Structures are given as structure tokens and as C-alpha cells.
């Protein structure tokens, strides 16, 4: 980039680069924060650490990387792809255009799935979990890393997505020994002998309707296969919900993310598919975002971090 006050040796300070990035990106929402995140990433210093190095001089290689990242963000590429990684709960996941960007609402899906793992672990271990449509592996790897009692399957129909998931699995450490990768469409990716033996099925499937208008940063950059699911956005959800009963153990649970306007339709589908208790859970903004459906005697409604709005089950009346 031009216009920077470089010294005779050709270098600049991190402070100068931060000011430059803020000037270039400041015209877009969140541009100042994006600028700081880029500088933190290139400098290898986050938060208060960056303050300690702001006046240090940047290497030629560092300047070149900074220029490349700012140019990509300026062109509209999502910050998460520009950086090449993003936080998801306790994980720092590798992400690129082959997979969806991990989002806060999906962290809540993980939280609900973990609560189901804990419920089932009181009566037996290991707890068998399947993450259908794993993408980057966010849900599967969060469950495996946070609950040592689990055995986890991570599946996806996209070979590109599974390549990203495998890269994240390789960085997981000891917990990786309890995760298996499966290629295929929904339940077809699972071994047949798991039928009736899974304890938790969790999924963030495609749920955007084909005709829905998306923000350009989503529509132009994130994989359409992981976003869109037919004229109502329900094609994938219908397959997952209708098929889950065959794969779950008697007291197992299904946890799925969806769009707010799909919650009641999917809840009704779960009841029609034989689930004994079906709850609609809200995200941190109060919107319907998750359906949790349980089978068998473990079907009573349970509070999950204050996000429950119960649509069915024996305790439904108390929550209305």
C-alpha cells in the first residue's frame, strides 16, 4: 500500500499499520475492529499484548502479509476467511470458503448438545454422538474436546468440508482419538451398526430457502451447499428429523439449528416422527433457533442456560 511514512530501512511500526488499516477499512461496519484483528493476527499479539508491541518495527514479510489481508478484507471477503481461523467455544478452528463460518448461535447448539451428553452420561458411558453436516467440525470437535465421555462421529457430504474438518481434527490433541469422520449424505455416512445406538444427534444443516436474499458477504463467499435447502429451506431438516428416531437409543436426543420461522414446523415434524418431548429453544437475541427432541423415558423438559421455550412434553404448561 502507498502513503505510509516508511523509514529509510523500509519498515513501519505496528501502530502505523493499525492506523492505515483503520483508514482503509473504517468506512464499513465494524471496520475498526477488523483492522485491529488483522494487525493482531499478523503481529501474533492479541488484546493487551498488542499495546506492548505497537511501536515495534514490522518485518518486510509482516508488511507483505498485512497488505494482503487488508486488501482481501477491503474486497469484501469475510474477516474469518481472511484470517484463516476463527474461535468456536474453546477451539480455534481453521476455516476457509469450503465451510460455513462458525457463529455464536451454533455455540449455543453445542451447549444444548453438551447438556444432553451430561444427562445421558449419568446412566451410561461412553455417550455416542453424531454431528451430521459437520462442515469445519465445530460441533463435533467441541463435544469431543469438552466431554471425554463421548465417542463422536462427524459426517458431511462435501469432500471439501471434510478436508477442513480433518485439518481441525488433527489439531485437536488427545480428544481426536474419540472422533471418526464419515463421508456421505446425512445418515448414509454412518455405519449401519450404529442404528439404535446413538445417544445424541446434533446438526446445523442447510436451512436457507432458495429464494431468500442473503447478505453479500454470505451469498458471495460461503458455500451454497451448506446454506440453501429447497424452496422452504426445510429439505435437509426434514431428512434429519424424520430419520433420527431410527438411529437414536431409547432415551436419546436430537438437537438441530434452524431459522426462527421454521421452529414450529420442525417441532411438529419431530412429534410426528415419534419423539416424546420436543422443545423450541431461543438464541441469545430471543429468537427461536434450536429444536431439541427427546425419545423415551428421559423426555422431561430440562432448563438449558435459560434459553428454553418449551413447545411440548409433560412440563409444557408450566413454561407458557
Distance CA 287, CA 226 (A): 21
Of 64-78, 191-205, 251-265, 296-310, the poorest mean pLDDT is in 296-310
Indicate if the pLDDT at residue 272 is higher than 70. yes
Strands 150-156 and 308-310: unpaired
Instruction: Please indicate whether residue 299 or residue 10 has the higher confidence score (pLDDT).
Output: 10
The three cell numbers locating residue 87 = 474461535
Q: Which residue stretches of the chain are H helix?
A: 14-25, 31-43, 48-53, 60-74, 79-83, 104-121, 138-146, 159-170, 216-219, 235-247, 263-272
Residue 111 confidence (pLDDT) above 80: yes
Give me the chain's average pLDDT, please.
91
Angle at 63 between CA 62 and CA 66, to 5 degrees: 85
Q: What is the pTM of this model?
A: 0.89
What the block records as the C-alpha cell of 269 is: 415434524
What's the grid cell of residue 53?
Answer: 508491541
Structure confidence at residue 300 (pLDDT): 39
- The CA distance from 27 to 148, in Å, is 45
Domain residue spans of the chain: 14-75, 100-319
3-state helix, strand, coil split of the chain in percent (to 5) is 45, 20, 35
Predicted local distance difference test score (pLDDT) of residue 296:
77
Cα–chain center distance at 314: 31
Q: How confident is the model at residue 302 (pLDDT cuts 50, 70, 90)?
A: very low
DSSP string of 186-199? Answer: GGGGS-GGGTTTEE
Distances (CA, A) of 38 to 14, 24, 64, 94, 204: 11, 12, 12, 16, 28
Q: Which three cell numbers stand for residue 102?
A: 462458525
Cell numbers 462421529 correspond to: 153
pLDDT band at 310 (very low <50, low <70, confident <90, very high): very low
| 100-319 classified as CATH 3.40.630.10 | no
Q: What is residue 176's DSSP assignment?
A: G
195-250 tens-digit pLDDT: 999 999 999 999 999 999 999 999 999 999 999 999 999 999 999 999 999 999 99
Amino acid at each position: 500500500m502507498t502513503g505510509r511514512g516508511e523509514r529509510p530501512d523500509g519498515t513501519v511500526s505496528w501502530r502505523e499499520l493499525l492506523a492505515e488499516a483503520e483508514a482503509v477499512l473504517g468506512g464499513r461496519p465494524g471496520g475498526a475492529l477488523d483492522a485491529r484483528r488483522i494487525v493482531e493476527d499478523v503481529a501474533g499479539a492479541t488484546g493487551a499484548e498488542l499495546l506492548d508491541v505497537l511501536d515495534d518495527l514490522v518485518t518486510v514479510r509482516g508488511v507483505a502479509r498485512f497488505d494482503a489481508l487488508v486488501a482481501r478484507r477491503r474486497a469484501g471477503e469475510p474477516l474469518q476467511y481472511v484470517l484463516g481461523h476463527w474461535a468456536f467455544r474453546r477451539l480455534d478452528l481453521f476455516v476457509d470458503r469450503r465451510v460455513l463460518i462458525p457463529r455464536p448461535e451454533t455455540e449455543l447448539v453445542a451447549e444444548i448438545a453438551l447438556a444432553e451428553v451430561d444427562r445421558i452420561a449419568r446412566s451410561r458411558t461412553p455417550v455416542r454422538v453424531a454431528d451430521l453436516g459437520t462442515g469445519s467440525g465445530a460441533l463435533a470437535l467441541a463435544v469431543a474436546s469438552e466431554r471425554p465421555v463421548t465417542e463422536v462421529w462427524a459426517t458431511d457430504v462435501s469432500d471439501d468440508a471434510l478436508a477442513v474438518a480433518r485439518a481441525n481434527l488433527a489439531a485437536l490433541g488427545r480428544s481426536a482419538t474419540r472422533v471418526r469422520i464419515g463421508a456421505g449424505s446425512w445418515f448414509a455416512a454412518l455405519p449401519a451398526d450404529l442404528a439404535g445406538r446413538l445417544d445424541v444427534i446434533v446438526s446445523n444443516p442447510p436451512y436457507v430457502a432458495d429464494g431468500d436474499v442473503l447478505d453479500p458477504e454470505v451469498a458471495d463467499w460461503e458455500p451454497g451447499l451448506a446454506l440453501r435447502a429447497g424452496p422452504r429451506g426445510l429439505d435437509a431438516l426434514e431428512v434429519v428429523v424424520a430419520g433420527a428416531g431410527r438411529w437414536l437409543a431409547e432415551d436419546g436426543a436430537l438437537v438441530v439449528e434452524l431459522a426462527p420461522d421454521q421452529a414450529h414446523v420442525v417441532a411438529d415434524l419431530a412429534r410426528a416422527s415419534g419423539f416424546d418431548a420436543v422443545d423450541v429453544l431461543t438464541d441469545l437475541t430471543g429468537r427461536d433457533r434450536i429444536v431439541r427432541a427427546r425419545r423415551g423415558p428421559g423426555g422431561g423438559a430440562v432448563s438449558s442456560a435459560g434459553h428454553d421455550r418449551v413447545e411440548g412434553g409433560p412440563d409444557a404448561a408450566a413454561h407458557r
